[in-house]
Structure 1
């Protein structure tokens, strides 16, 4: 017996190691499963469950001791749709709910959140992006308006002067760029009306000369109240900028008009030039010379019925008979007395520039041209220019009277509309349809609107009388312009 036991033990030691790992049989049906069947079963399970193929998987059959607890290591791969979904009992699979689908849909700019979806921060960001493209958010605008009205009312109740901030306006797309800043399209939040907001960086206003120039322009614009002059509405500061709010003219300028459609006929130019004369008269009545009258400083309203004289950057207050020595303006429009640089009487130079402008309206070019500034100055001082053949004799005479090189022999500003060229009744342009801005009860209607904005009528009346620049006068003037 002992020899048989030794022989059996020696045979077992000679067997391969794999046969020593034979599973222990149990009392269940699986005890009848042969090793070969078990191997096939495992291989079939591997085919069904690809995750089990990876020995590094968090549910790998080689990691049996950790198989019942979730893996806490850093993931190496984020599952995508093309990846197979594991069916391990330790990874609960959830079907996508309606809410998760709704969140995905809100990422589309054109879709709305589905019913039953609570908006998330990411949804709000998407809505802001969409709204910025469309420029207006009605609910936000209404909320901002209510807050501004409450702030104004609280200021009057507490006796605290209110101060305009950038929150009173909505800033939109840029309209242009100047030497010291940019001009943006804006919206006056109380009325919803559009304005132009000129921003000047404070870093450019460090020296006294620049500050004086900026505030001189503000002072001059505040003196002139005329339908043919762009209106100053308000002035306030932000941390980095000085903000000048102006009337918005959405029809472009005369230079853009000529580039788009070419020269104008005399019947088309006549009502436009008549309004330009009215604008310059309004300036001279306030003892202001413009000194930069040109095509691109004449704006048009959106209806193409009104012109607006703008850009008072080189304008100044002057007295008749008082000589000025400053040289400024656009080279092609400069009067000879400015070029001579021996001092000039102020109000004649605007009439010269108006003669150049009328010539340009009718021909889409200027009478004096040269490749260099010195050559241009010589041509202007010589006073020689050629009229196109299609100019009428009447308009030739009119322009000649304005372009007289001797200032005192130039036609007077107040005599311009008396010239025979204006006596022609052919008005082919929409500009002749401009009507007087006065309407019955206009003032009272505007005051009633301002009361709804939170302003006291007495405060508005006093501010208008003193020509104060604040949000009350800005709101009044803006409603007055657009009524």
Structure 2
């Protein structure tokens, strides 16, 4: 029996395919059981690489079972299909942040600040649990119809047992990857997440990427240089200072997420 028929028999009705990878696909569906729309990630265990099945997938599922935060996507259930496919049923969202930026070109600072504060709240929660994401990017920031943030895709996430423990796995998307990882050095994975957040807020307020990632060697050179803001974006100095704080080339001078959460720029305008 096909995956579609099995899920249909369990009360799921597919609406559309909303994502596809080399060994997985994500479908939007209605759910009688959960009384809402859900996103179902269907992982093909046969086609997936061995290290993904044995290392990354178990990590992702273990983390999704542990976390409970309003700005992190919630996993509803897991469904095994004949040992060949795994269906991960999760919260559905209206769009991702990149789609939002494409629609509006760039997001006004006040709105960016609100959305970014939600992201920081979620990452602060994860880091306090010694969980790191390592693949934060606009495509992995989902938005509900009410434009509430839901961080998703924990495929490269892991638990860090020792705060001084460094990671060595090269993972994530180059455009959001900090220089120490680009250079192949052991790195602090929490500082990795902070750098990625810096790239995300730059994209939000400017509508463009801070660095050209078409060539890794050139990318690393660009990461050393001062940021250049498009004139048309009109990014105010306090916001530029905030972004500069996150995109510190030297990870030892990059703030921890707890420091990001109380930064002056994020607090401005709050009552």
TM-score (norm 1): 0.51
Aligned to 1:181: 24
**Structure 2 CA distance for aligned equivalents of residues 277 and 191 of structure 1:** 28
Aligned to 2:121: 278
Q: Which runs of 5+ in 2 are unaligned?
A: 1-5
Aligned to 1:408: 252
- The answer as to 2:115 corresponding to 1:268 is no
| 1:424 alignment partner, one of 240, 248, 268 | 268
Instruction: Indicate conservation of the 8 Å contact 1:324/1:345, yes or no.
Output: yes
1:191 Cα deviation (Å)?
4.1
**Structure 1 CA distance for aligned equivalents of residues 166 and 268 of structure 2:** 37
- For 1:119-138, what aligned pairs fall within 5 Å after superposition? none
**Structure 2 CA distance for aligned equivalents of residues 206 and 261 of structure 1:** 38
Aligned to 2:154: 312
Q: Secondary structure at the match of 1:175?
A: strand
1:385 Cα deviation (Å)?
2.1
Instruction: Indicate conservation of the 8 Å contact 2:45/2:53, yes or no.
Output: no
Which is richer in strand?
2
TM-score (norm 2): 0.89
**Structure 1 CA distance for aligned equivalents of residues 48 and 207 of structure 2:** 37
- The answer as to 2:231 corresponding to 1:393 is no
- For 1:147-296, what aligned pairs fall within 5 Å after superposition? 167-172=9-14, 173-205=16-48, 207=50, 209-239=52-82, 240-249=84-93, 251-296=94-139
1:167 Cα deviation (Å)?
2.4
**Structure 2 CA distance for aligned equivalents of residues 398 and 361 of structure 1:** 13
1:206 to 1:289, Cα distance in 2 relative to 1, 3 A = closer
**Structure 1 CA distance for aligned equivalents of residues 215 and 87 of structure 2:** 37
Q: Secondary structure at the match of 1:274?
A: helix
| 1:357 alignment partner, one of 200, 206, 223 | 200
**Structure 1 CA distance for aligned equivalents of residues 220 and 237 of structure 2:** 27
1:256 to 1:205, Cα distance in 2 relative to 1, 3 A = closer
1:198 Cα deviation (Å)?
0.9
1:206 to 1:417, Cα distance in 2 relative to 1, 3 A = closer
Q: Which has the larger radius of gyration?
A: 1
Instruction: Indicate conservation of the 8 Å contact 1:170/1:186, yes or no.
Output: yes
1:385 to 1:302, Cα distance in 2 relative to 1, 3 A = same
Structure ranking higher on relative contact order (CA contacts 8 Å, 6+ apart): 2
Which is richer in helix?
1
Instruction: Indicate conservation of the 8 Å contact 2:75/2:89, yes or no.
Output: yes
**Partner deviation per Cα, 1:98-152 (whole Å, 9 max, x = no partner):** xxxxxxxxxxxxxxxxxxxxxxxxxxxxxxxxxxxxxxxxxxxxxxxxxxxxxxx
Number of residue pairs aligned between Structure 1 and Structure 2: 261
Q: Secondary structure at the match of 2:175?
A: helix
1:397 Cα deviation (Å)?
1.0
Q: Which runs of 5+ in 1 are unaligned?
A: 1-163, 428-483
1:373 to 1:408, Cα distance in 2 relative to 1, 3 A = closer
| 2:209 alignment partner, one of 344, 360, 366 | 366
Q: Pairwise CA RMSD of aligned residues? A: 2.0
